[in-house]
């Protein structure tokens, strides 16, 4: 794609976007990298299995409210694309999971707190509730997690294997952290599908690089319409 046709993403933090004059060359370089990996035998397509499930990563208010830094940023397009997938998943009758942070003000600080000040207190516990635009049903499970991966110290793996799930459709935020970590852990057991319009984060460069890594090594990064079309055909 030529530099002139590249535009800034509609999500994330404006101050963390790429300079306009770097976006086109970077995208071209990343496409060239992907092609080289393909030539070396990477980036094969796993496709869908016979029993998919959808997981929505961390689309809780702490992440979807732009006025709550450092976690919050403008991710309305991610929420909207995820809602499209949720509609298709519900119509298809496939299992749906949501995650959010298992916040407990009594938890002691971890070494990771030195990397990022959470900027959250006991009065903010409500921010861990899912964004109401997702319209979660009572039958749709919530995985409350302490770590980046939705598999780490949770019962997600047990839930998926009990249901004989073989494909995990991963959406939400952030691409470089919880989406990536969940995809990496999932890839050991499940086919991974990531609709690129339904994942994102505050930083454009981190999003693009980690999405490329997922597509090369962990799963299939696909267009939203392709994933919805597959669900509609079930």
CA distances from 17 to 9, 23, 79, 205 (A): 8, 9, 19, 7
* Residue numbers annotated as active site: 178
Strand residue runs (E) in the chain: 52-57, 96-101, 141-145, 167-173, 191-195, 199-200, 220-222
Q: What secondary structure letter does DSSP report for 53?
A: E
- Cβ neighbour number for residue 23 with a 10 Å cutoff: 20
CA 105/CA 99 separation, integer angstroms? 19
Instruction: Give the CA angle between residues 5, 6, 10 to the nearest 5°.
Output: 125
Dihedral over Cα of 17, 20, 25, 28: its sign: positive
**3-state class (DSSP) for residue 135:** coil
DSSP-H helix ranges across 14-71: 20-39, 61-64
Closest CA to 159 of 176, 172, 146, 142: 142
Q: Using an 8 Å Cβ cutoff, are 148 and 181 in contact?
A: yes
Provide the 10 A C-beta neighbour count for residue 34: 16
């Amino acid at each position: 794609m030529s530099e002139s046709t590249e535009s800034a993403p509609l999500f994330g933090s404006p101050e963390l976007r790429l300079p306009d004059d770097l976006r086109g060359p970077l995208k071209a370089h990343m496409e060239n990298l992907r092609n080289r990996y393909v030539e070396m035998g990477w980036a094969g397509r796993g496709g869908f299995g016979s029993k998919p499930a959808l997981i929505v990563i961390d689309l809780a208010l702490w992440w979807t409210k732009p006025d709550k830094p450092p976690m919050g940023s403008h991710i309305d397009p991610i929420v909207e694309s995820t809602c499209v997938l949720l509609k298709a998943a519900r119509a298809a009758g496939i299992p749906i999971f949501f995650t959010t942070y298992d916040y407990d003000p009594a938890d002691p600080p971890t070494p990771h707190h030195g990397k990022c000040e959470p900027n959250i207190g006991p009065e903010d516990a409500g921010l861990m509730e899912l964004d109401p635009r997702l319209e979660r049903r009572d039958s749709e499970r919530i995985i409350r997690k302490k770590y980046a991966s939705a598999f780490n110290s949770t019962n997600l793996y047990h839930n998926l294997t009990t249901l004989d799930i073989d494909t995990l459709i991963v959406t939400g935020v952030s691409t470089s952290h919880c989406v990536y970590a969940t995809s990496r852990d999932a890839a050991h057991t499940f086919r991974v599908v990531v609709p690129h319009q339904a994942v994102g984060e505050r930083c454009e460069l981190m999003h693009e690089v980690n999405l490329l890594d997922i597509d090369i090594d962990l799963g299939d990064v696909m267009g939203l319409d392709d994933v919805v079309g597959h669900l509609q055909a079930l």
